[in-house]
Structure 1
Amino acid sequence: MTFAELKPKVQDIVSTATTSREEKLLQICHLLKDNIDYYDWVGFYFRNGNKEELVLGSYVGEATDHTVIPFGKGICGQVAVSNKNFVVPDVMAQDNYIACSISVKSEIVIPLFVNGENIGQIDIDSSTIDPFTEADERFLEFVNAEIAKTFH
């Protein structure tokens, strides 16, 4: 399924009034993992209150030990500090990388902003080297902008 085909499906999930935010996030994780062949792990991390750490929220894929990530550590922790997208074409070439699985070859992390504040991020791992393009970044920014609406 193309990004253009997925966008209205994301909007449908987000706009369902009877579904909790956690369930919406889980449905989006499933939608992306099931329809984009190089998205092998899809999950959300959120800032833990006022603490300088991220806590794992909804995700789909292999279980991970990384349920709490300090700011600055790993790709997710760096995005929590930089507030910028981070695309890692080859995780083996990255110094500050937290290995979740030996099958992970690349990663993309896009911050999620609500009212200009970085409250979390979508994190996607791939077992393919360098699959992520600018189109992935724009699509995931769209996904996060839709999710942000559930926080108002």
Structure 2
Amino acid sequence: MAEDLQITASGSKEEQYQSLIPQIEGLLYGETDLIANLANVAAALKEQFKWFWVGFYLVKNDELVLGPFQGPVACTRIAKGRGVCGTAWDKAETLIVPDVDAFPGHIACSSLSRSEIVLPLFSHGEVIGVLDVDSSELNEFDETDSKYLTQVIGLIKFNA
């Protein structure tokens, strides 16, 4: 497959996801390198939705370590239970934060980030990382994002 995305600028958020997901599936098809796949997923999501920051943190030595991402420089390491990412890892659940300034213990990698969604990545029932998406707009993320981003990370093979 050509590595060009057909960006859907119009339509609902749901329609945009429905257009993007098969393209992400095509990008991942046949590729077994996890880092390459995480990089392409981050790039595809950033390109489609123009979010402020999209990336992955992976669990290494009992902390989250920055992985492939798109956007400005980011925090490199996050402890379990700290900030939105560390809390999503600790609770093993998706967190939607409409206003990061109202989240207790939020780690401000950038003051331009205003809202956030973080989804845990699972392998063999264990959280092995998180997908972190930040917006420069308040209240950017909702259950539609949770539903479709869960589908996106379901396409990634974490134990290939």
- 2:141 matched residue in structure 1: 132
Where does structure 1 differ by over 4 angstroms across 4 or more consecutive aligned residues?
none
How do 1:63-74 residues align onto structure 2 when only pairs under 5 Å count?
Answer: 63-64=73-74, 66-74=75-83
Q: Distance in 2 between matches of 1:71 and 1:150?
A: 20
Report the CA distance between 1:151 and its aligned residue: 1.8
Which residues of 2 match residues 3-152 of structure 1 at below 5 A? 3-17=17-31, 20-37=33-50, 39-48=51-60, 51-64=61-74, 66-147=75-156, 149-152=157-160
Give a deviation string over 1:56-100, Cα, whole Å, max 9, x none.
Answer: 110000012x11111011111111110000011001111110001
3-state secondary structure, aligned to 1:28 = helix
SS at structure 1 position matched to 2:155: helix
Tell me the amino acid that sits aligned with residue 117 of structure 1.
E
Flag structure 2 segments of 5+ consecutive residues without an equivalent. 1-7, 9-15
Distance across 1 between alignment mates of 2:71 and 2:151: 22
Q: How many residue pairs are counted as aligned between the two chains?
A: 146
By how many angstroms is 1:52 displaced?
2.2
Relative to the length of structure 1, the TM-score reads 0.91
Instruction: State whether residues 28 and 37 of structure 2, in contact with CA within 8 Å, keep that contact through their aligned partners in structure 1.
Output: yes
Q: Which runs of 5+ in 1 are unaligned?
A: none
Please tell me whether the aligned partners of residues 123 and 158 of structure 2 are also in contact (alpha carbons under 8 angstroms).
no
What is the percent sequence identity of the aligned residues? 37
> Retained in 1: the 8 A contact 2:119–2:132?
yes
* Amino acid in the other structure paired with 1:32: L
CA RMSD of aligned residues (A): 1.2
